Structure 1
Amino acid sequence: MYPITLRSVLLLGTALSVAAPALANQTDPETLFSEATQAEASAAGQGNDIIVTARRRSESAQDIPLAVTVIDAKQLDETGAFNVNRLQQLAPTLQFYSSNPRNTAVNIRGLGVPFGLTSDGFEQGVGIYIDDVYYARVASATFDFLDVAQIEVLRGPQGTLYGKNTTAGAINITTRQPTFDFEGRAEVSLGNFDFRQARMSLSGPLSETLAARIAVSDTTRSGTITNVTTGQHIQSLDNIGVRGQLLWEPSDNLRVTLVGDYNKQNAVCCGSVFVRAVATQRPLERQFAALAAAQNYAPPSTNLFDRLSDLDASLNAGNVIGGVALRVNWDAGPGTFTSITAWRTWDWKPENDRDFTGLPIVTLSQNPSQQDQYTQEFRYAYAGDRFDFVVGAFAFDQRIDTQGLEGQGAAASRWTINPSNPLSNDPTVLDGLTARNTQFLESTSLALFGQASWKVTDAFTIQPGVRLNYDEKRGFYRRRVFTGDGTELFGTETDARSRAQLGVFQPQESAPEDTDWNLTYDLTLSYELAPDVLAYGTYARSFKTIGINQNGLPTDTNGVPIQEAGSILPEKVDHFEIGLKTQFWNRRATLNLAAFRTQIEDFQATVTNGQFGVLRGFLANAEKVRSQGIEADFAVRPSERFNAYVSGAYTDAKYIRFVDAPCPVELRGGTTAAPGQTPSPPGTPGGISPANCDISGQRLPGVSEWAFSFGAEGNLPVRFLDKPGQIYLGYDGSYRSDFFSDASPSEATRIGGYHLSNFRLGFRSEDGLNLFAWVRNAFDENYFEQLFVGPGQTGLIAGLPGDPRTWGATASITL
């Protein structure tokens, strides 16, 4: 019922928007950046006003009572921040983790999505918007930015202003728009690891009322890890993107923009390297060292940063994302009416090696997915002398279909079956054992939202906001199990061979569904203490809606699926923030401070229990978590010859109460403790393992307590290639302290802190030519982006190392 209704709403919205007559002639406060505005924004943090649309109207970043990081096109291009992964080095409160495009997490202040393998059944807490269109699939964050004018990273709940409810923040990306003057941009970069990147955009008029813009980006790079089994270099880049826009402007008060984009990835990805083996509670002969020795297996290297892997299963990260959007801006009387109608599609074709070794244990791990997403947003924005407001309505409809294959190989019997069972020595028992998974998710979201701003006096402003949200989720999951000869197992078989096979994969079927209403609201008070000094305070009550488990349910000690784990409660968020925004030294210097405390009840966590049948993990509620901290952003431009910046964040993010969490790896694999029985110490072979663990008071995964970004650029006037311009030297650095890479903190999955340094040296002419050489991770810092706990409780830890030193050169021209 809902999908039909929503698609009707989308069509009706388009018709109403295009047919709306022009009633007034007023500058559209949401009109995306003109070239003059972009020129101002390019001086980010260097004494000029930075114009943002964070509150759905154009205003100075220093005038809004909101913690926001603004990064302009020049900074993105020259620092090599061509995707969100690179962006986190410029925004210390942003965390990005990706073991492959689907399994990508974007968090702000440690919150947003559960850390770990991604499930379709939960919402993103950090919204990604490109020209006002919500991108539900976080896989889009792994693609290259296309023709970007500016990026705003908004911290804290944003649901009363943005289409989808966002409980942790939003990444608001603005692209360059079609122009009625011809302009062109071209850029080519070459570097080590066969890095090649070409980007181009062209814009101009087709008639007096019609303009067009097209942008293309192509990035390739050889992988940074050598697979000794296949000879391939894995973790490569192979991205291509195209974005086309048509702007119809029949009058001064009506702008209609049609946008289409297509993005494709076809990398040799994604892999891992052996990191270590830790002691678990499994019997000694069933832990990694003994199992590997019994099969004469050794990792290709125990030097963590030799960057050698021996994965024997096929690897692929085929990924296509695209869509069409229609945006209408109509200056209707004293305000502006906006309609955004969008359809997006996502096609994911992965192949993985989920045993993290060169042994044929898990030989198939493929979960291709297809998504269709429809959104419709209506919004009206009014700006007056004393009173501003934005009101809107939002509809979201999503369907995701997934067809999964999980298969076992010839080495699985010895690795998985207890050695006391004679079948452990028979490689045919599990060889070819396959789980075929079929699942779908239908998700519907409807919302009304609004935010007002009342300027009580010239200095004091009250800003309330509210959002009413309805969500409906309906899922289906079915796992069928087949032996190597194609015989289907139904779970009722009693012979020893079948029981051993069912110990790996159990047939399952579930169809969770749920609905939820919630009311989000916030209140911000701001006061201008002096010219260019703004103080503000915010309270927000927000919600992340219900989640459902889409990837196989955990089982009890008897192997029976736990049906009540099919859905999880919504998150309930209480957010407090105070801040100070200042400019001084004739606006040459900017200092912004923010202190925040966010508390979440029924936090949605991703947990793994090491079972082969639920390798993706499953969702569960932690009773309460809290993230609190202090942030500072400082930028200075004493002259046009020098500028510098430093941003820092201290984040204290921890579980306040999570008493029934899965245990860390060193407490898994033993006999489950009976009521009143004392578990064995961690890492006791053949010991007694707790059924679950109390990790209250421990740190949230993926969050560093300290994170910094800093940099500077100096220039001198020169004449080069018979062109007047500047020679410049720039530096950008980042640091983050240690963090945990599993939902349950463990020393086995602690990633040490690291510091990255990037340099650039170049020439920038007055007529748009820019030539520069660059080196990233200049000191070749060895670090891990993620660590993974291997399946089967063997104690295997694998990891994804970060990029080594890379270097190259870039040439660009703007006409």
Structure 2
Amino acid sequence: MRLTKKNPLLLTRTAAAVLALYGTVGVSYAQEANSQAPAATSENNIEKVVVTARRREETLQDVPVSVTAFSADQLSKQAIPDLTGLTNSIPNTTLKASRATNTTLTAFIRGVGQADPVAGFESGVGIYMDDVFLARPQAAVADIYDVERIEVLRGPQGTLYGRNTIGGAIKYVTRKLAPQTDVRVRATVGDYGQKEGVLTASTPLSDTARIGGTIAKFKRDGYGTNLVTGKGNYDKDLTAARLSAEFTPTQDLFIRIAGDITQDDSNPKNGHRLMVGRKSGFPILSNVYDTQGEMITTNGHEQEIRAHGVSALVEYNVTPEVTLKSITASRRDHSWAPIDFDALPVVDLEVPAEYSNKQFSQEFNATYSGKDLQGTAGVYYMDATAFNQFDTIVGFPAFIASTYTSANVGTKAWAAYIDGSYNLTPDLQLSLGGRYTVDKRDAALYRQSYLGKGSPYLGNPAATKLTAIPDTDLPDLSRRDTKFTPRIALNYKVNADHNVYASYSEGFKGGGFDPRMNMVGTKLTVAKARQGYSPETIKTTELGLKSSFNGGRITTNAAVFHSDYKDVQIPGSVAIDTNGDGKDDTFAGVTTNAGKAKIKGVELEAIAHITKEFTLAGMYSYIDAKYKEYIVAGVNVADKRYFQNTPRNSSNIRATYDIPTPLMGYNGTTSLMASYAFKSKTYQFETPSDLDQQSYHLVDASVVWTRADGRLRVGLHGKNLTDEHYKTGGYLFQTLGNEGTLSAFYGAPRTVSGTVEYRF
């Protein structure tokens, strides 16, 4: 089903009407609180969500920050599978699996993000697992299990978080262990052979020690088929586990040691060609989830992704007002990723790749919560290394050539931050914050060209070096960037139900080196290569209003914001001719610092408990993101460039109706849920292409029965019920190879699944 021109306008008007009906404007959903999360209760017994957006507990309606929170109960009811399943419920936010991957995350908030997950780049959106920053996007599409809540903060957050969060932050908060033995089981079956199981168990060892763990298996056949190999395309085969131990030697000291591991053995995900093969004449397939890709493996390795990490949290309440915290973490991931760009059974544009990342981080912070003064101060250190190597294999009429690329990019980062709030009057609060950041980046880059299907480094010892094409050998690149970024905010409680705030904040992300640079084809000088790309900065002004009505039964939140975005880091790939024969023979990374951009927008969210049984929620966001200076070959082409992964309009309407329903001799509640989401046109790159996604909508529905004591839940869930086909990414290299490359990746089709959850 395709949208007519009237549909988006109708949805927008409907969302606006919902928001207008239940009060004026404000900035985040008031979501259901998890039973283990701290919560206050209003006079109408409506739970208020408590978040830690400012590193201390505050209710969602009181915190002067644009934040959306999702409780474990809400995620369970809606059968949200992973972080990408939240994207339709959050204003001005895009979360998706990166092209040709299952578990690499592409995240954009308010126009800021990172689309190309290459070595050394960090996303403009910070991903945090229990306050541990994930330096790389590989394996960051976390399947949701063992979770207490997820918080999504929009806008720069540098004065409160250890690492750069120039566009926003996503916080995945896991559940603390229960004081008594707790065993939970969740099972899911669905079409496309979906079979999932999650087993969680914890128990106290003594009055001061608890231990717990979770093991999960997520498996599904492909939405389509690789017609060459016969294997499923867009399948899923993922195993995950988590183990934690918690200690409370005294009532003021809390220690948690945790470890997690994820193993992804899914088949390689191949794209759907949008053009007929230029030489072979291979037709465009009718099923967008089918493919004809046949990949060259990396040193014989099939696709595999493994990520694991350990962390230690020590939290000590020095006094009722002062808390000291230490967060120590180490993480690693390794990926073998054979990628077939051309999506055909011929060797025309193949990129077998290997990624290896490791990081160590240490953060110390102190939180003070006094009557009139509250705040957080901390220091942060990170040492991370990102290595990748890949072959770019290109077909020519009479031969096949390969370009080997390797890069080792190291990052050492130090930061000190402070953010405090002072009650000038009982109703007026002033917040001031600052952060000083030092980013040091070192890199070693190497490229070499060969005749043959791949290089000796990645499994082809018979390859012949092309001596006519000079190597790119840059072993000792280095740069150091520093920046102080401030934040100031005022929030005024007009009365107990209305909170208005204004804020100004700055964000910063250090510069670096594109690991795919080629000095020959791009005519890059050594001096320019050593400079690398520059840091990017953003200055954001925001005005928001958070309101509640009728004893909290209705909440409305809104924000308007304006950002000045400078030296925007835009990683991309271009086809190049390295030997001057007039034909492109490989591609190179070209990271552009677009000079200036202006971003402004509006975010509206509302939730209304219309009756005890019926709840209606709505979200609408608008963003106007435009480049003002984008220099190419000395010419400003800003009017011909667009922000990628940033649809101008997004809407979402959700309705829930609860019906008391006795079942199997137990009292319980049947919840009927439906949602309708809309996104306007989305650009995949800075320039328009056939890979851009026109406006589309998604319809979901669920029927869930929950036993009154909360121990049993059974649900039936339908996603994308109109079977909308929408592009989420793709490859565009039409001048490379004999066939040309124009291949797209798509979001999930219509799916139906059933879930059972039981708590012993």
Q: What is the TM-score with the length of structure 1 in the denominator? A: 0.82
Which position in structure 2 is the counterpart of 1:221? Answer: 220
Question: Greater shift after overlay, 335-344 or 771-780?
Answer: 771-780
Deviation, 1:101, is 5.0
Which position in structure 2 is the counterpart of 1:524? Answer: 489
Deviation, 1:394, is 0.2
Which position in structure 1 is the counterpart of 2:253? Answer: 254
CA contact (8 A) 2:547 2:555 kept: yes
Give the SS at the match of 2:571: strand
Query: 1:485 & 1:736 partners in 2: Cα distance?
Result: 41
Distance verdict in 2 for CA 1:525–1:770, change over 3 Å: same
Tell whether 2:747 aligns with 1:802: yes
Distance verdict in 2 for CA 1:643–1:807, change over 3 Å: same
CA contact (8 A) 2:147 2:173 kept: yes
Distance verdict in 2 for CA 1:271–1:35, change over 3 Å: closer
Deviation, 1:695, is 3.2
Give the SS at the match of 2:610: strand
Query: 2:443 & 2:485 partners in 1: Cα distance?
Result: 25
Deviation, 1:640, is 3.1
Which position in structure 2 is the counterpart of 1:312? Answer: 294
Matched to 1:160, the amino acid is: T
Which position in structure 2 is the counterpart of 1:813? Answer: 758
Deviation, 1:698, is 3.9
Give the SS at the match of 2:123: coil
Give the SS at the match of 1:609: strand
Deviation, 1:573, is 1.1
Which position in structure 2 is the counterpart of 1:673? Answer: none
Give the SS at the match of 1:367: strand
Query: 2:153 & 2:456 partners in 1: Cα distance?
Result: 51
Deviation, 1:90, is 2.2
Deviation, 1:103, is 5.5
Query: 1:547 & 1:434 partners in 2: Cα distance?
Result: 26
Distance verdict in 2 for CA 1:486–1:350, change over 3 Å: closer
Give the SS at the match of 1:750: coil
Determine which of 321, 338, 341 is the counterpart of 1:351. 338
Distance verdict in 2 for CA 1:41–1:266, change over 3 Å: farther
Distance verdict in 2 for CA 1:65–1:35, change over 3 Å: closer
Determine which of 380, 396, 410 is the counterpart of 1:413. 396
Determine which of 303, 311, 331 is the counterpart of 1:325. 311
Query: 2:453 & 2:295 partners in 1: Cα distance?
Result: 20
Query: 1:623 & 1:42 partners in 2: Cα distance?
Result: 49
Deviation, 1:590, is 0.5
Which position in structure 1 is the counterpart of 2:659? Answer: 716
Deviation, 1:248, is 0.8
Distance verdict in 2 for CA 1:619–1:557, change over 3 Å: closer
Deviation, 1:648, is 1.2
Matched to 2:249, the amino acid is: P
Distance verdict in 2 for CA 1:614–1:643, change over 3 Å: farther
Determine which of 573, 597, 606 is the counterpart of 1:634. 606
Determine which of 639, 642, 650 is the counterpart of 1:699. 642
Query: 2:588 & 2:89 partners in 1: Cα distance?
Result: 31
Give the SS at the match of 2:74: helix
Distance verdict in 2 for CA 1:568–1:202, change over 3 Å: same
Query: 2:359 & 2:198 partners in 1: Cα distance?
Result: 28
Matched to 1:652, the amino acid is: D
Tell whether 2:461 aligns with 1:477: no
Which position in structure 2 is the counterpart of 1:549? Answer: 514
Query: 1:487 & 1:91 partners in 2: Cα distance?
Result: 44
Determine which of 311, 324, 328 is the counterpart of 1:341. 328
Give percent identity, aligned residues only. 24
Deviation, 1:104, is 3.4
Which position in structure 1 is the counterpart of 2:281? Answer: 297
Which position in structure 2 is the counterpart of 1:55? Answer: 54
Distance verdict in 2 for CA 1:740–1:554, change over 3 Å: farther
Determine which of 368, 381, 399 is the counterpart of 2:385. 399
Distance verdict in 2 for CA 1:41–1:507, change over 3 Å: farther
Distance verdict in 2 for CA 1:406–1:103, change over 3 Å: farther
Which position in structure 2 is the counterpart of 1:155? Answer: 154
Matched to 2:205, the amino acid is: L
Deviation, 1:485, is 10
Question: Greater shift after overlay, 153-162 or 607-616?
Answer: 607-616
Distance verdict in 2 for CA 1:485–1:564, change over 3 Å: closer
Which position in structure 1 is the counterpart of 2:631? Answer: 659
Deviation, 1:270, is 1.8
Query: 2:312 & 2:587 partners in 1: Cα distance?
Result: 40
Distance verdict in 2 for CA 1:191–1:562, change over 3 Å: farther
Which position in structure 2 is the counterpart of 1:786? Answer: 729
Query: 1:631 & 1:207 partners in 2: Cα distance?
Result: 48
Q: 1:757-796 CA deviation, whole Å, 9 max, x = no partner?
A: 1111131111221111111111111211123212526764
Which position in structure 2 is the counterpart of 1:14? Answer: none
Give the SS at the match of 1:85: helix
Deviation, 1:404, is 2.3
Deviation, 1:41, is 9.0
Which position in structure 2 is the counterpart of 1:467? Answer: 435
Query: 2:677 & 2:384 partners in 1: Cα distance?
Result: 37
Q: How does 1:645-656 map to 2 (within 5 A)?
A: 645-656=617-628
Which position in structure 2 is the counterpart of 1:748? Answer: 690
**RMSD (Å), alpha carbons:** 2.7
Deviation, 1:40, is 4.6
Query: 1:275 & 1:232 partners in 2: Cα distance?
Result: 21
CA contact (8 A) 2:406 2:515 kept: no
Q: How does 1:669-708 map to 2 (within 5 A)?
A: 694-696=637-639, 698-708=641-651
Query: 2:454 & 2:108 partners in 1: Cα distance?
Result: 43
Query: 1:697 & 1:250 partners in 2: Cα distance?
Result: 62
Q: 1:502-529 CA deviation, whole Å, 9 max, x = no partner?
A: 79x7521124210011101110111011
Aligned residue pairs total 705
Distance verdict in 2 for CA 1:205–1:42, change over 3 Å: farther
CA contact (8 A) 2:574 2:588 kept: no
CA contact (8 A) 1:595 1:630 kept: yes
Deviation, 1:380, is 0.3
Query: 1:563 & 1:556 partners in 2: Cα distance?
Result: 14
Distance verdict in 2 for CA 1:35–1:799, change over 3 Å: closer
Q: 1:97-139 CA deviation, whole Å, 9 max, x = no partner?
A: 41115753211112122x3x32223222111111111111222
Which position in structure 1 is the counterpart of 2:95? Answer: 96
Which position in structure 2 is the counterpart of 1:386? Answer: 372
CA contact (8 A) 2:105 2:139 kept: no
Matched to 1:237, the amino acid is: K
Q: 1:7-64 CA deviation, whole Å, 9 max, x = no partner?
A: xxxxxxxxxxxxxxxxxxxxxxxxxx99744385999x99421011111111101111
Distance verdict in 2 for CA 1:330–1:610, change over 3 Å: same
Matched to 2:181, the amino acid is: F
Distance verdict in 2 for CA 1:454–1:657, change over 3 Å: same
Query: 1:515 & 1:800 partners in 2: Cα distance?
Result: 37
Matched to 1:602, the amino acid is: D
Tell whether 2:471 aligns with 1:507: yes
Question: Greater shift after overlay, 126-135 or 376-385?
Answer: 126-135
Determine which of 454, 458, 475 is the counterpart of 2:426. 458
Give the SS at the match of 1:76: helix
Deviation, 1:208, is 1.4
Distance verdict in 2 for CA 1:101–1:485, change over 3 Å: closer
Unpaired runs of 5+ residues, structure 2, are: 1-31, 458-462, 577-583
Query: 1:643 & 1:488 partners in 2: Cα distance?
Result: 62
Give the SS at the match of 2:84: helix
CA contact (8 A) 2:295 2:352 kept: no
Give the SS at the match of 2:639: coil
Q: 1:604-628 CA deviation, whole Å, 9 max, x = no partner?
A: 0122222377646331100012221
Query: 1:623 & 1:589 partners in 2: Cα distance?
Result: 43
Give the SS at the match of 1:721: coil
Matched to 2:393, the amino acid is: G
Q: How does 1:21-100 map to 2 (within 5 A)?
A: 36-38=35-37, 40=39, 47-97=46-96, 98-99=98-99, 100=101
Distance verdict in 2 for CA 1:488–1:83, change over 3 Å: closer
Higher-helix-fraction structure? 1
Query: 1:220 & 1:41 partners in 2: Cα distance?
Result: 39
Give the SS at the match of 1:564: helix
Which position in structure 1 is the counterpart of 2:24? Answer: none
Q: How does 1:530-545 map to 2 (within 5 A)?
A: 530-545=495-510
